[in-house]
Homo-oligomer: A and B are copies of this chain.
């Protein structure tokens, strides 16, 4: 019996899914063994350890996505250019010789945007195909986080996308900047978050808005315990404002944990977008891995 195993192998984590013949996830395993944690190219050994008894039933088809296909990963799988559909991505997957089974590493996707900037993703494209499998129409998909991606999907293809450094900027500013000195804790505060979002929707100059997290704190107009939510609101609001600027949002799918999704739902509502679907990240990865696996010409 040939089993399909899918893996989302990112910078910090490795998450594996074992599928049944119909694409349902039978079991999930996860470890904090991201690409940066694996030294001396020990990717095969790492994978064997986590797979364990999943291999007892024989050789498996193993499909991996994410940073495992980057220069720092197992093998570099060159980016596929936009517009990119599942077939193009599946075709550019790299076969890697292994005793564990038939392993293929998925490529990332690149775009040269209208603003002249290059942009890249690795792993998110797989989640995107987990969404489009459910909804073939035009839509925006956002994967919030350290580097939020806003992805425009149409006719089953990734046509355009942009990365926002929202999560990384939030952490940097809170930990290392003058703004952090006034911030107490990181409790969520709906009103402060909404105030930050609204300001960013009204005023696109982020490097100016950010300083207001200091001045509003200095004057006690925002409490120290609410400043981190305000800062988060400024950054998420700036992202939503820019991503929706061309006015053609359609449905927006948010791939995130419930807390993060809640923030984005609130920000999108303030921007007038109510047609929003939320999807869990692991669920999107699994669905996308299955979808892409069906497009791969497996040898065995």
**Residues on A facing B (Cβ under 8 Å):** 110, 115-120, 147, 162-166, 168-169, 172-173, 175-178, 199, 202-212, 215-216, 218-219, 221, 235, 238-239, 241-242, 245
Contacts and interface: CB of A to CB of B under 8 A. Distances in A.
A203 B115 contact: yes
Query: How many copies of this kind of chain does the complex include?
Result: 2
A175 B166 CA distance: 17
A236 B151 CA distance: 28
A1 to B, nearest CB: 41
A210 B167 CA distance: 13
A210 B168 CA distance: 11
Contact of A165 (B110, B202, B204, B210): B210
Given A117-B199, A165-B177, A205-B242, 17 more contacts: A115-B203, A117-B209, A117-B215, A118-B218, A118-B221, A119-B211, A162-B208, A164-B208, A164-B211, A165-B211, A166-B207, A169-B210, A172-B172, A205-B245, A206-B207, A207-B239, A208-B239
B164 A168 contact: no
Contacts of A178: 147, 168
